[in-house]
A and B are shown apart, each in its own frame.
Chain A
Amino acid sequence: MAKMLMIYPDRCTGCHNCELACSFFHEGEFRLSASRIHVHTWEMEGISVPTTCEQCIDAPCIPVCPTSAMHNDPEGNRVGWDEIKCIGCRMCTLACPFGAVVFDASHNRILKCDLCGGAPECVAFCPVNALEYLDEADATRPRQRMIAMELKKTYAEAR
């Protein structure tokens, strides 16, 4: 079954473990600028929001790619990127509405989430399950249940 990466900012503690795990897995070093996921924090409000590639069905980065390096990869639940075909034109970084396709100047290449081939490291190393890799059909269930729990409490109080 198709899977997707779910992000829960309400659970995120802003620890950046996802970025560390991502850069370590892909690059073998700890370099936040090489991470495919990024955490944005508003310290005073105490909230952090991770952003990464949404693996769009109709991905804007694909049609702008002149060499088809960027392509649909439904089996991998992702938008794939073929390093051999890539000419480094960076059109994808311009097209992505999420800013999730990044050009890594230190290595002259594209950085984009590839879901680590099916076992995302960011998910494995998130200490608070603010990231989950779920079956698409069930992906929103935790959020539904969260809301349902709140309603349940309200009913219990009203009764």
Chain B
Amino acid sequence: MYGWIGTILRINLTTGHIRKEALDPAIARKFVGSRGLGTYIMSQEVDPASDPLSPDNKLIFAAGPLSGTNAPASAHWNVVTKGPLTGTIAASSSGGMFGAMLKYAGYDAVIVEGRAQEPVYVWINNDRVEIRDASKLWGKATPETTDRIRSFTDEEASVSCIGPAGERLALLANIINEYSRAAGRSGVGAAMGSKNLKAVAVRGTGAVRVPDPKAFRNAMVKAKDKLKAHPVGGRGLRMYGTDVLINILNENCGLPTRNFRESFFATADKVGGETLAKRLLIRPRGCFSCTISCGRATKVANPAFKGQGEGPEYESAWAFGPDCGVDDLDAIAKANYICNEYGLDTISMGATVACAMDLFEHGILSLEDTGGVVLDFGNAMAMVEMVRKTALGEGIGQKLGMGSYRLAESYGHPEYSMSVKKQEMPAYDPRALQGMGLNYATSNRGGCHVRGYVTAVEILGHPVKIDSLATEGKAEWNIIFQNLTAALDSSGMCLFSTFGLGGDDLAELTSAATGVPFTTEEFIQAGERIWNLERLYNLRAGFNAKDDTLPLRMLESPIPDGSTKGQVNRLEKMLPEYYRLRGWDASGVPTQQKLEALGLQPNQALAQ
């Protein structure tokens, strides 16, 4: 095959069996790869009702057809599993080298099944695959794990691993590759930990081929030039990183502040990308094949928060910053470094600390609960201390590691958790960005900004600017973005490539890489198919329309101040229209007609 390798690696940790299987070209065409392919495999093989932390769940590392080529920013890959934090289907995307390396080693995807008796890691060296003892790596942070595995295997191996958080089955645990790239959300690190799988290391020296190099080169050069010419994709993200959004969201009074009590943070500029570039940035970094370079190699000299690594990007800076009322960039970077080292999702971690601060200020959490830490909003030291406690599983850290919903619920106040389907919402206030509210409510993996970045139209004016406070048209925009993003995620492209590239370009690149002629419509329809399959999976997992909602604070407590003062999210105005335009019935179930049009069976997500 072209673009795709045509081989899937299956590793059963219970039995130790390792098998190579052919990728069915018809399935590849229908579900593209990465997120789509992983979701298809999950729908065929894992009962949606199964316990995410049981050996019945599977963990799929999957790359897209464009990964390994030099299509710009094409290195994204996904971990697909049933998410332990949410109970939904989870596809967590990461960048770095891992996806491309997997392809060069000869695989489109790796399916990990069962559970090892003792801690193990998997070493994929081209066609030689071994399950190796990891008992001496258990308990180690991600940088040391990566260094050691490289010393045991190959110094250029790409290592995806969990930290101590994932080993402990903390539901905020992520999977880290290349030290600071993260398959961050939905608790995929806990799913890995539950399998006693410390790491997957891969090195490949093979090739990714395209059918017609000249034609591919033309499509690739065209895409690169477009991306380069775009002010955000070509320049803005490299100069300031994604953290440039702090000031933009704040100016629009849509920057959630102090656990979403407010949407404006007076000292936001102190934690924005411009300040970061001046104070902490060593140089921009890029994932494999990236021309955007939004990554931030940073260093904190301040002895209280000393450290070095990558980040923070926007969501992390917001979560540890404005959401906790903190404006100390050094502390924010430190919290970010700790999360990368111990394998914790920065968005959910920061938002969970914010929730704890809210509980503390309302007298629900006591000093005894916090281990004597005065957990007020704005207390940078306390914020970092909570992250450290979670990383080490100390005291209240055990509870924080389970996420804000379970934390708040354990004190009888789940309404303080700013989460959807138990996953923390990211850095866009759904009262100020009505469409993002609908997006959070309908996201197939709970509160999330990368299932359809409606912020692009509501705030950034890309490709057009629409009123962020209006509800009209938001259902349609969400569907457009959700479908496109599902297809893009499945192709291997980075979401930021859309700062310059549209559906036409992505379809053209995917066609040029695979030789399968995807029209723009077919490409986006593949995204719609994937979205509907995810929905079917969640319905079978027990979710229904009642779960497509937002925290009460977003629906009932108006924004207290600023240009968005008085706003609540008017979800009830958007959701019925969304279901209708999706071709779903009033209770959010895809109609027979819609499924037939997409070539899906109603029992596609089959309990087997």
- Listed in ascending order, the chain A residues whose CB lies under 8 Å from chain B are 10-11, 13-17, 20-21, 23-24, 27-34, 43-47, 106, 125, 127-128
Contacts and interface: CB of A to CB of B under 8 A. Distances in A.
B101 to A, nearest CB: 9
Nearest to A22: B70
B293 A128 contact: yes
A13 B285 contact: yes
Interface stretch (B203-211, B350-358, B398-406): B203-211
Given A46-B283, A127-B228, A31 B207 contact: yes
A15 B206 contact: no
Given A13-B285, A16-B97, A33-B205, 14 more contacts: A15-B286, A15-B287, A15-B291, A21-B70, A29-B208, A29-B213, A30-B69, A30-B207, A30-B208, A30-B209, A43-B310, A47-B282, A127-B224, A127-B293
B209 A29 contact: yes
A46 B241 CA distance: 15
14 contacts: A10-B283, A13-B286, A13-B290, A17-B291, A24-B213, A24-B217, A29-B213, A30-B70, A31-B104, A44-B143, A46-B283, A47-B283, A47-B297, A128-B293
CB-CB nearest 7 A-B residue pairs = A46-B297, A15-B286, A20-B70, A127-B291, A13-B286, A31-B207, A33-B205
Nearest to A18: B70
Interface string B269-296: 0000000000000111111111111010
Contacts of A11: 283
A15 B68 contact: no
Given A21-B70, A31-B207, A46-B310, A13 B283 contact: yes
Contacts of A127: 72, 224, 228, 286, 290-293
A20 B221 CA distance: 13
A24 B238 CA distance: 26
B68 A30 contact: yes
Contacts of B143: 44
Contacts of A17: 70, 289-291
A43 B209 CA distance: 28
Interface string B295-310: 1011000000000111
A32 B207 CA distance: 8
A11 to B, nearest CB: 8
B204 to A, nearest CB: 8
B181 to A, nearest CB: 9
A47 B298 CA distance: 11
Interface string B180-200: 100000000000000000000
Contact of B69 (A14, A20, A33, A128): A20
A50 B96 CA distance: 17
Given A14-B286, A15-B290, A43-B179, A24 B70 contact: yes
Contact of B282 (A14, A21, A23, A46): A46
Nearest to B97: A16
B323 interface: no
A44 B299 CA distance: 10
Contacts of B284: 13, 128
B289 A20 contact: yes
Contacts of B179: 43-44
A128 B308 CA distance: 23
In the complex, which range does the number of interface residues on chain B fall in? 35 or more
Nearest to B2: A29
Contacts of A23: 207
A101 to B, nearest CB: 18
B108 interface: no
A14 B207 contact: no
Contacts of B283: 10-11, 13, 46-47
B534 interface: no
Contacts of B70: 17, 20-21, 24, 30, 125
A15 B287 CA distance: 5
B99 to A, nearest CB: 13
B178 interface: yes
Query: Residue among A15, A29, A34 with the most chain B CB within 10 A?
Result: A15
Contacts of A33: 205
A16 B288 contact: yes
Contacts of A13: 283-286, 290, 293, 295
A43 B206 CA distance: 23
A16 B289 CA distance: 6
Interface in B235-284: 238, 282-284
A20 to B, nearest CB: 4
Contacts of B213: 24, 28-29
Contacts of A24: 70, 213, 217
Contacts of B208: 29-31
A125 to B, nearest CB: 7
Given A13-B295, A17-B289, A43 B205 contact: no
B178 A43 contact: yes
Contacts of B69: 20, 30
Interface string B94-125: 00010000001000000000000000000000
A43 B150 CA distance: 13
A106 B206 CA distance: 9
Nearest to B101: A32
Contacts of A30: 68-70, 207-210
Interface string B132-171: 0000000000010000000000000000000000000000
B191 to A, nearest CB: 25
Nearest to B228: A127
A15 B207 CA distance: 17
Contacts of A15: 286-291, 293
Nearest to A48: B285
B205 A32 contact: yes
A125 B224 CA distance: 9
B205 to A, nearest CB: 4
A13 B70 CA distance: 15
Nearest to A44: B179
| Chain A CB within 10 A, most for which of B210, B224, B238, B297 | B297
Contacts of A20: 69-70, 289
Contact of B309 (A16, A32, A44): A44
Interface in B21-53: none
A24 B295 CA distance: 25
Nearest to B290: A15
Contacts of A28: 213
Contact of A45 (B178, B209, B295, B308): B308
A29 B208 CA distance: 6
Contacts of B228: 127
A59 B360 CA distance: 70
B386 to A, nearest CB: 25
A22 B502 CA distance: 27
Contacts of A32: 104, 205
A30 to B, nearest CB: 4
Interface string B46-71: 00000000000000000000001110
